[in-house]
Structure 1
Amino acid sequence: MSSSEKPNRKVTSFDVARRAGVSRAAVSRAFTPNASVSPETREKVVKAAKELGYRVNYLARGLINQRSDFVGIVAAGMDNPFRAMQIEQITKNLVRRNFRPILLPADHGESADHVMDQLLHYNVSGVLVTSDAPPTALCAEFAAAGVPIVLINKADSIPAVDRVVSDNDTAGRLAATTLIEGGAQHLAVMSAAAISYTARRRQQAFLACCHSLEADVRVIPVKINDYANGFAAAAALDGVDGVFCVNDYMACGLIDGLRQRGIAIPDGVRIIGHDDVPQASWTGYDLTTLRQPCDLQAEQAIDLLLSRMDDPETAERVELTPISLVRRSTA
């Protein structure tokens, strides 16, 4: 560092330009995705920036440009392994496309107003909202304010708001037919349908298929679709020999609860989950499940978001994410 550069002050783009022997505009272009700059100039700028410890202030750039590189992600149920998979795919995909994700959790049963309001302060380019996160009214407000927004596995149709939805109807039917073909005669679906759109649709499709096949079926309601409620529900399965849990998280709890009660799987009870989280393939569970490909779903959601950024007047759209059966030992 030269004597003219003070070691205690913050390094600026002007310092980088001086060190690299280029203009400040060239420094800006070097750190702007898809900007026109020669490879030689970019290399000199990056080398100078590393030597000086310079980092681009993306937040300040967003304030200047009126549109930042930030994309907000609002998610609830972070304890669910599927949510971790989903967020990983979304964030990796955004980074590949030169966006910077901001993750804000919205807990079950709490107001999401403050979470969504924070995103406006970051001047985000768009927002991705996962299932069971902020209510419809808040999403509609964002769309009305001109902030592109895509909902993942949420029910409501909102003007100018796109959605990506897993094929829950096929999931429910596949779960029913797989259990029945495997020999189950007294079926049940375990679901907190009141609080989750995906749980509700999967439950409805499962029940409809069972009724069409004249199969004996009932609903085992739970408060939340999580491990603890699955574990506790093992005590409510008297007379049931086939269960569809609307997610793997709850199915793993049910398996552990049944084993504690001395009930064999699948000889005593056949079980099917949904999502194909990593734990589903563990030897201790080896869970038959329905795979919801969150990598594909992330691609679909971000494609819709970018399209909405480019053309805000497009009519709202719905993309369906296909599911597939993953056969293991529980059904």
Structure 2
Amino acid sequence: MADKDKGPRKVTSFDVARVAGVSRAAVSRAFTPDASVSPKTREKVYQAAKELGYRVNYLARSLTNKRSDLVGLVAAGLDNPFRTLQIDNLARVLLARNFRPILLPTSPEADTSTVIGQLLHYAVSGVIVTSDAPPTEICEQCAAEGVPIVLINKGNDIPFVDRIISDDRMAGHLAATHLIDSGVRKPAVMAAPAISYTARRRSEAFIARCKQLGVEAQFLQVRINDYRSGYDAAAELAASGIDGLFCANDYMACGVIDRVMQGRGRDDAPPLSIIGHDDIPQASWTAYDLTTIRQPCDVQAEKTVDLLMSRIVEPDLTARVEFTPVTLIRRRTA
């Protein structure tokens, strides 16, 4: 009766070893990525585990190893389709490399160091930050505890912290050249540079390239690089005489298009040339058909995890920066 009251006994690795006819160490190796174990033994262990309903307790294993296979993903702006695409690619690459992503949403106003501090309680193997760059102090604390950090599209140069950066200067160059070559004579760039390193770099490069081509570009500053900011700011475009616009991201460009197209047929071309950035899935929708600058999330994800894994092995490497290429995608809006 006592056993019934306690419920079914939990299956352990000892049970799997007994049924598979192998040692408990062999069971451990069979469930450890890249461990030395023969295919025949691994198959026997997997079959026994399936029959018994056994699952590896990775959290318990992390207590023994002092490090889990968890990698923290810190991200803000998850309403932006690009951020969702970025997180999806990072998560898939981490899973393929035998890590387990744990997502911690934050916001531009939040203290990133608090979020990263929470991750350290879970003995994470690393942290990837796609939101605002964390303060130097928390990065130094992570380095001291052997937890590498990789920043994506962030400008801060921090010791022992690696960065992956999209080629924003080329993006601004491509957008300006395409608009001017297509006949635009009063171009502008729309961005919120105060809170975004990438928006600032893209804007500066766009304005500089326009100047090289003999055209003065206007700067239209918004509070946030989001749909609503683009939609609201577009109300002033008709009276400005601007005939070509580069938006810091596609999300904002979609807001601009929806505002300027109000009362017009969806088959009409926008009354001004518009270029976005990121190539989110919505950019190719018929409603937008947006010319944009593609930022390759898949390449970024691979490079990010490469840097993370190499720093796990060699934590004292000097800080590294790698750039990912951009490509102009031509559609109806420009």
Same topology, TM > 0.5: yes
Superposed displacement of residue 292, structure 1: 0.4
Partner of 2:257: 255
Is the 2:116–2:127 Cα contact (8 Å) retained in structure 1? no
Partner of 1:20: 20
Is the 2:133–2:156 Cα contact (8 Å) retained in structure 1? no
Name the amino acid aligned to 1:319. Answer: E
- Provide the rounded CA distance (Å) in 1 between the counterparts of 2:141 and 2:61: 25
Residue 130 (structure 1) aligned with residue 130 (structure 2): yes
Partner of 1:105: 105
Is the 1:245–1:273 Cα contact (8 Å) retained in structure 2? yes
Q: TM-score, normalised by structure 1?
A: 0.94
Residue 54 (structure 1) aligned with residue 48 (structure 2): no
SS at match of 2:59: helix
- Provide the rounded CA distance (Å) in 2 between the counterparts of 1:310 and 1:99: 15
Q: How does 1:175-194 map to 2 (within 5 A)?
A: 175-194=175-194
SS at match of 2:194: helix
Inter-CA distance 189–141: structure 2 relative to 1 (3 Å threshold):
farther
- Provide the rounded CA distance (Å) in 1 between the counterparts of 2:116 and 2:73: 10
Inter-CA distance 151–190: structure 2 relative to 1 (3 Å threshold):
same
Inter-CA distance 211–266: structure 2 relative to 1 (3 Å threshold):
farther
Is the 1:74–1:133 Cα contact (8 Å) retained in structure 2? no
Q: How does 1:139-158 map to 2 (within 5 A)?
A: 139-158=139-158
SS at match of 2:322: strand
Residue segments in structure 2 that go unaligned for 5+ positions in a row: none
Partner of 1:114: 114
Q: How does 1:143-222 map to 2 (within 5 A)?
A: 143-222=143-222
Name the amino acid aligned to 2:48. Answer: A
SS at match of 1:273: strand
Residue 284 (structure 1) aligned with residue 312 (structure 2): no
Q: TM-score, normalised by structure 2?
A: 0.93
- Provide the rounded CA distance (Å) in 2 between the counterparts of 1:26 and 1:228: 57
Name the amino acid aligned to 2:176. Answer: A
Listed one character per residue, the Cα deviations across residues 192-225 of structure 1 (whole Å, up to 9, x for unaligned) are 1100100110011111111222313211111111
Listed one character per residue, the Cα deviations across residues 38-61 of structure 1 (whole Å, up to 9, x for unaligned) are 222211111111122211111111
Listed one character per residue, the Cα deviations across residues 82-110 of structure 1 (whole Å, up to 9, x for unaligned) are 11111111111111111111111112212
Q: How does 1:9-48 map to 2 (within 5 A)?
A: 9-48=9-48
Is the 2:261–2:270 Cα contact (8 Å) retained in structure 1? no
Is the 1:106–1:134 Cα contact (8 Å) retained in structure 2? no
Partner of 2:92: 92
- Provide the rounded CA distance (Å) in 1 between the counterparts of 2:83 and 2:270: 31
Superposed displacement of residue 19, structure 1: 2.2
- Provide the rounded CA distance (Å) in 2 between the counterparts of 1:271 and 1:245: 8
Residue segments in structure 1 that go unaligned for 5+ positions in a row: none
Partner of 1:243: 245
SS at match of 2:217: strand
Q: How does 1:61-80 map to 2 (within 5 A)?
A: 61-80=61-80
Partner of 1:320: 323
Inter-CA distance 252–100: structure 2 relative to 1 (3 Å threshold):
same
Superposed displacement of residue 112, structure 1: 2.6
Partner of 2:308: 305
Is the 1:131–1:197 Cα contact (8 Å) retained in structure 2? no
Q: More displaced, 112-121 or 173-182?
A: 112-121
- Provide the rounded CA distance (Å) in 2 between the counterparts of 1:267 and 1:126: 45
Is the 1:148–1:308 Cα contact (8 Å) retained in structure 2? yes
SS at match of 1:37: coil
Alignment: residue pair count? 328
Inter-CA distance 320–117: structure 2 relative to 1 (3 Å threshold):
same
Is the 1:62–1:69 Cα contact (8 Å) retained in structure 2? yes
Q: How does 1:268-283 map to 2 (within 5 A)?
A: 268-283=271-286
SS at match of 1:194: coil
Report the aligned-residue RMSD. Answer: 1.9
Superposed displacement of residue 283, structure 1: 0.8
Inter-CA distance 261–195: structure 2 relative to 1 (3 Å threshold):
farther
Superposed displacement of residue 165, structure 1: 0.4
Is the 1:76–1:133 Cα contact (8 Å) retained in structure 2? no
Superposed displacement of residue 133, structure 1: 5.4
